[in-house]
Structure 1
Amino acid sequence: MKLKTWIADPTVIPADAAEDALAISVSDSFIEILATQKLSLAVTIVPDGLLLIGLSSDGNLAVDHRAIPHAWGIAVNGDRLAVATHREIIVYANSPLLAPLHPEHPKRHDAFFSPRVTFFTGDSMIHDMAIGQRGIVVANTRFSAVCMIDGRYNFDPIWHPSFISRVIPEDCCHLNGLAVADGQLRYVTAFGSFDQPAEWRKHSPFHGVLIDVERDRMLCEGLCLPHSPRLFDNRLFVLESGYGTVLEIDRASGEKSCLAQLPGLTRGLCAHADILFVGLSPPRDSVNRWTLPIHEVSTPLVAGVVAVDRKNGAVIGMLQVISRSAREIFDIQLLSGITCPGFADTSTNPGGLYILDSPSGGYWMKSLVAGGRR
């Protein structure tokens, strides 16, 4: 019998979630997808932090969890994994040769991510991210702009909507999502074309926009809380969170077609072959001030990740977060070709193991805790 449920270690649960331990349950079909496609997932869950979800060598569910505070957007490119937090972006790198040599868990992992560099962004409310050749492209929600993070500045604005008059920290339009293709910014989502401080909060949730950056035009308007625009095989998808839907958008006309309606606010989208992975969350209190279409759905709303067949919109697998209190899936990314990833975070686990890697060799190390000795 395969282990399909995981419960968080209480020693790594954040203080604000300590009375309600995080647990995850997955369907047989979800496990089969991870196994046959050789995939694992990086997931940020509020308030629990970052989870790497895969399978052990015997096919059981395997989860590596670190309680990184305010873990939000995720980006993956090759051996790099970047995670946005409240004021920083932490970049981890995979050391596949050292992964199976873990001193405490030999042969468990086929990938292990250890911290390489941290960028200080301040309270920029970083949402979507993409790792490029020059740096990390981010949706800087606080400043209503898309920015480059490369270490030269805290952030470098490279684009903002034409309706934004000044790139200042006012969260005018709740710019949150971006799609990058061939190294170029293509599409951006926001909750409206507003230019006053937090103005999006003062209106109904049906003012959302999808912006075609290349043509400098509104491709779609009147969306209900849009998130996570993505290009897969030149097909454009966006999540209309207020409806709990996955939309496909005609890139020329802006015509919308609904691929799937799901039991939760949709946010976080990635794909492998013909499978879409979509993050789901119940509406949080700040969203419940609005009457959303998702509130009228009779099906219970859940937090988790669903696998959707891109050909017909059918749900073919599900990972569900089980808890008494509301949990939010903030972002999800795939780790292709990796089945059982692990990672170290020295800021939240100061006495834990980590990797020091260099061209001359790599080593497993153990951090010194305060007052400790070698």
Structure 2
Amino acid sequence: MPEPLRSVHTSNIPDILHQLGISILVTTYQAGRLVMLRAQDTALNTHFRSFDKPMGLAIDGNRLAVGTANQIWEFHNLPAVCEKVDAKIRASDPASPVHHDACLLPRTTHWTGDIQIHEMDWVNGAAGTELWAVNTRFSCLCRRSDVHSFEPVWRPSFIPHFVPGDCCHLNGLATRDGQARYVTALGETHEVEGWRKNKRNGGILIDIESDQVMAHGLSMPHSPRWHQGHLWVLQSGIGELGIIDPANGSYQSVAKLPGFTRGLSFVGPLALIGLSQVRESAIFGGVPIAEAKLDQRVCGVWVVNIETGETVGFVRFEDAVHEIFAVEIWPTRYPELINDDQDLLAGSFELADEALADVPTEMRRQ
């Protein structure tokens, strides 16, 4: 029997989600789940979908990309399918108050092979937005290709070749003005798995535009983000959220948190931060946060006011979920994602507007 997937949360979390009109998507590669945190009246609904080691998430309009062990899945939101989903629920529970406002259905799957995919984002390109990913195994950034496993687009200046050896453990990607701009790595080395020699404070942040390391001495940095005119980063090894000064690379701590910080999204003055309990010792041994007692390290999503550094609320996972990778905001309150309902997938179609115009009106929402 698999372990149960349970969570507890502060009483204000459903109201925060409801007031902002959002839900939260979380990946846990350790438990093999994409978690959807949704407000349902005054309660929090925690919804799970299974994937093979889900990692990075990228949202662009009605599109969601999910990076997994060997593939990138792309889902599209088809709101009309919500009626079918709600009808199936009410067929077994006529009193159900559930009303979905988004339904994500798979549109493409791209086989990358085991590139140890980490963060992803949509980047403006000559022909429209392109899906870029951190290819950790080959120590580079790559974009999705229609022909190849991946298309390399950038690598750090200290990486001389495309070698499948996870040399620097490139992991985080931040976009700025629609362009890939900053990345985090756990070491400045071209040796195979060389980053492991100084996990404690060998982390770096690189400016892609100048191809220069702009910050050294970070403790397992992850999730760089550009928000409200500041460059944010998680110092995962010490459990912190902070700001990097682009002018001199100095670091300023904003909030200290009770776990390995990884996964970061913003909505106004609020930061949504993933925390991991980091039980596995081979990777995390020797890192400051792993030296705290196990019961002092938690797994979940913390909501922090970035103006004060104070924790506003949290969702804490228990039992089966110990590690989180990505935390992203989906812009509706109660989405659904379908990846295993064959009947629903077989009978739902996405067409171009000009083709849809030739479908009889009475059939368009059936």
Alignment of 1:47-126 (within 5 A): 47-56=31-40, 58-102=41-85, 103-105=87-89, 108-126=99-117
TM-score (norm 1): 0.86
8 Å CA contact retained: 2:31, 2:321? no
Unpaired stretches in structure 1, ≥5 consecutive residues: 1-17, 366-374
8 Å CA contact retained: 1:356, 1:364? no
* 2:303 paired with 1:316: no
Equivalent residue pairs, number: 343
Q: Distance in 2 between matches of 1:290 and 1:322?
A: 22
* 2:16 paired with 1:33: yes
Alignment of 1:224-373 (within 5 A): 224-287=219-282, 290-297=285-292, 300-323=296-319, 327-336=322-331, 338-346=332-340, 349-350=341-342, 355-359=348-352, 360=356
Aligned to 2:95: none
- When residues 202 and 352 of structure 1 are mapped into structure 2, their CA distance, relative to the original with a 3 A threshold, is farther
Bigger mean CA offset, 289-298 vs 66-75 = 289-298
Q: Distance in 2 between matches of 1:277 and 1:204?
A: 25
Aligned to 1:191: 186
Aligned to 1:3: none
Post-superposition offset of 1:176 = 0.4
Aligned to 2:159: 164
Post-superposition offset of 1:356 = 2.1
SS at 1:242 equivalent: helix
Amino acid at match of 1:320: R
8 Å CA contact retained: 2:199, 2:287? no
Post-superposition offset of 1:31 = 1.6
8 Å CA contact retained: 2:174, 2:225? yes
Q: Distance in 2 between matches of 1:363 and 1:177?
A: 41
- When residues 288 and 326 of structure 1 are mapped into structure 2, their CA distance, relative to the original with a 3 A threshold, is farther
Q: Distance in 1 between matches of 2:314 and 2:282?
A: 24
Post-superposition offset of 1:59 = 3.3
CA RMSD of aligned residues (A): 2.0
8 Å CA contact retained: 1:112, 1:341? yes
Q: Distance in 1 between matches of 2:129 and 2:315?
A: 35
- Give CA deviations for 1:225-252 in whole Å, capped at 9, x if unaligned: 1100001122110001000000111111
TM-score (norm 2): 0.88
Amino acid at match of 1:358: L
Q: Distance in 2 between matches of 1:181 and 1:296?
A: 35
Amino acid at match of 1:85: T
* 2:145 paired with 1:153: no
- Give CA deviations for 1:249-269 in whole Å, capped at 9, x if unaligned: 111111111000100000000
Unpaired stretches in structure 2, ≥5 consecutive residues: 91-97
- When residues 293 and 286 of structure 1 are mapped into structure 2, their CA distance, relative to the original with a 3 A threshold, is closer
